Amino acid sequence: MSDPDLSSDLSPDLSSGRAPVAAAIHLSITLGLGAMGGWVFSLFHIPLAWMLGSMITATIIAMSGGTFLERPIKLRAVMLVVLGVMLGSSFTPAVMERISAWMITLSFMTVFLVIVTVIGWVALRRWTRFDTTTAYFSAVPGGFTMMVVTGGAMGGDDRTIALVHSLRIMMTVLTIPLWFRLMHGVVPPDMASQLTQATGFMDLTIRDTAILLALGSAGALIGKLVRMPTYTLVGPMVLSGIAHLTGITSAKPPVELVNAAQVVIGTSIGCRFLGVVAREVPRTLICGVFTSFYLLIAGALAALFLEPYTGISFAALWLAFAPGGITEMAILSIALGADPAFVATHHLYRIVLLLVLAPLAYSLYQRWRAAQR
């Protein structure tokens, strides 16, 4: 499985094993169905209709035995580059003036992650049949691939860990926009126009287009070379941020690409459930839903606690502490009018911190347990 937090390579990767032509046909069908789901959701004015509609459509088909689906791995990597350039454009001088205030929330996040991981680990271990390793790596709200691969390598059930984290991301993406819609009457504006100020392909000059392409390509390459987590997103984000802060460009990716990104990312999330049949794994599904809402509630409580001390909006704080992937949370922050630079920075910090500390902490725990025997 590929990762919402740790993006896949840009090289060809046909996860289904189909021949290139067959894979392309299946991919077209998959994205067409996802786009149809997004269109239906848009008719009912559901928040983030194109991403949520494509995600739910793909999930239902995948869990109903839709083996014809083709996960858009390469296309998703390209869309992450687009989103990275977009997020970098939100790093303005005004934003950088506020970055010192973020030290409070970043420091709090360190403590927060330790607490929610320990509580989640203990709860899963006590109330499920998960072994200790599987429970631990299912509870850590880290990058998808790192938790699955490391958990499996250390003796856990990687399929269970993958399912729990897939549900975590999907439930987070579903819950937050619906919460603001139902409880606060907030209807997110069109995400693309919110970020790009309705910039279309025809509004970009040749110079702007060349700069944006260079930022995305060079950023992804540099990110890969220095082994950045989520390098197809973070590399372009960093390079784009530098270019926008220094005044090299003020251009942003066009609306058309942003809309396409929503469909691709939503469909990609849904396709993670290929091969998963709900009736065969009820316990794991229940545990995944429990973990998702537990972390969402914990993030909301952290946001409520920090809001009066920081002056940062509840929406931005909740999105920063929510247990979703950096890509999905960045999209939600844009749609809800929160600060995407603030949200993306906090999720990048979470990913890097847990990338280093989660395996180390569990190794130390294993040594301690061995010494007790």
Most confident of 116-125, 183-192, 234-243: 116-125
Calculate the CA dihedral of residues 116, 266, 143, 239 and round it to 10 degrees.
-120
Kindly state the average pLDDT of the residues 137-161.
Answer: 83
Residue type, 81: V
CB atoms within 10 A of CB 179: 15
Most confident of 29-33, 180-184, 195-199: 29-33
pLDDT tens column, 265-315: 889 888 888 877 666 567 777 888 889 999 999 999 999 999 999 989 999
Residue 347's contacts (CB-CB under 8 Å, 6 or more residues apart) are: 5, 320, 324, 325, 326, 329, 330
pLDDT tens column, 40-85: 988 887 766 787 788 889 988 988 888 889 988 889 888 889 888 8
Q: Is the distance from CB of 191 to CB of 257 less than 8 angstroms?
A: no
What percentage of the chain carries pLDDT values higher than 90?
26
Kindly state the average pLDDT of the residues 114-120.
Answer: 95
The predicted pLDDT at position 48 comes to: 67
Write out the two tokens for 289.
Answer: 């839903």
Write out the two tokens for 93.
Answer: 């001088």
- Cα separation values, 115 from 108, 126, 140, 328, Å: 11, 17, 10, 23
DSSP secondary structure code for residue 324 in this structure: S
Residue 210's contacts (CB-CB under 8 Å, 6 or more residues apart) are: none
Q: Indicate whether 1 pLDDT > 50.
A: no
Q: Is the distance from CB of 214 to CB of 207 less than 8 angstroms?
A: no
